[in-house]
Amino acid sequence: MPDLLAARVRLHVVTGKGGTGKTTAAAALGLALARRGRRVLLMEVEGRQGLARLFDTGPLGYDASPLVRLPRGELLGLSVDAKQALLEYLEVFYRLGRAGRALERIGAVDFATTIAPGLRDVLLTGKVYDAVRQRRGSRRGDGPYAYDHVVLDAPPTGRIGRFLNVNALVADLARVGPVHGQAAAMTEVFTSSATAVHVVTLLEDMPVQETVDAVEELARLGLPLGRLLVNQVRPSLLADDRLEPVAAGDVDVAGLRAGLQAAGVGGRAPRVRAEALARQTVEHAQRVTREHGLRHRLDDLGLPVVELPQLGGAHGGVDQAGVHELAGVLA
């Protein structure tokens, strides 16, 4: 498997259970690629404007706009809107721009993109496909790619398989004609070695289970798997050989009390404080032990694992500085 930031992987798809930090991971990956002197497009398809909040900028539009400019690289962002994608599709492929605007006025476009999730996914993946293949500097379409890499903040693991496989289903339904050809071309891009699907997870039961399910589904569909990005990793404060005994309650409370008194931090109730510290130590050992077991489940999937440290405290969010820090870890 190539280096995470390898030049030959041009489309990075980042998915994960909601709340695992997939948008933050996608942003950090895009920034890490840009730091290597490359022009990178960071895309979102869920309309949440999570990328704009991370980079402290105005709402992203349908056209690419700069997020970060570096001495040797550039990171741009855009938010894909299904309604605009449908209007663009009607104009580009059927020269129906005026008719599309008329349909929009009577609400037909909103109806079509809301009532038919399959159509919505076709339109969104179509925009991703166009971004990957877009050229610049040549009317013949043989100039350099507009973007060295495209990083997609994709839908969550619960529907990532349907999202990325929708064009394969369309190609099966439309066996001939332009619709079949376009759907087959999109499928070829999403299943090629120039694409990698990365799954973001936490060392918690539900995210790990969803990660296992998603990896199995993606493999079954023939989609190219990349890395497992384990987010918000916290260090263990105990030696490995002490984890199991401490998790079972083997803590020297008297020794803790003596240590607190010797350090002058025992206060007026050193025993109470020592007992509280002992409880916290046992809880820490139990958490780390559970996380080790979950990490073994991830290791069993056979994919490379990248650990991203926890930033901003136990419940704190990540700001632009945090994205830069995580980009440094990925680099």
Q: How many CB atoms lie within 10 A of CB 124?
A: 23
Reply yes or no on whether the pLDDT at 87 is more than 70: no
Residue scoring higher pLDDT (179 or 166):
166
Look up tokens 């926890």; give the residue.
310
Write down the pTM of the prediction. 0.88
230 touches 295 (CB < 8 A)? yes
Q: What pLDDT score was predicted for residue 143?
A: 81
- In this prediction, residue 91 carries a pLDDT of 56
Can you spell out the DSSP letters for 146-165?
S-SEEEEEPPPHHHHHHHHH
Cβ contacts of 125 within 8 Å, gap of 6 or more: 163, 164, 166, 167, 186, 190
Across the range 171-194, mean pLDDT stands at 81
98 pLDDT higher than 70: no
Mean pLDDT of 192-208: 97
Q: Tell me: the pLDDT tens digits for 30-49? A: 999 999 999 999 999 988 89
Q: Given this model, what pLDDT does residue 210 score?
A: 98
Task: Please tell me the predicted confidence (pLDDT) of residue 121.
Answer: 84
Instruction: Please tell me the distance from the alpha carbon of residue 131 to that of residue 12, in angstroms, as a whole number.
Output: 12
Would the pLDDT of 13 be above 80?
A: yes
Residue 237 has what pLDDT? Answer: 93
Residue 90: band (very low, low, confident or very high) from pLDDT cuts 50, 70, 90? low
Per-residue confidence at 108, pLDDT binned at 50, 70, 90?
very low
Domains of the chain: residue spans and CATH: 11-234+310-330 (3.40.50.300), 235-300 (no CATH)
Instruction: Please state the rounded mean pLDDT for residues 266-283.
Output: 87
Task: Give one word for 224, left, alpha or beta, with left for phi > 0 and alpha for psi -120 to 50.
Answer: beta
Query: What string of DSSP letters covers 209-237?
Result: HHHHHHHHHHHHTTPPEEEEEEEEE---S
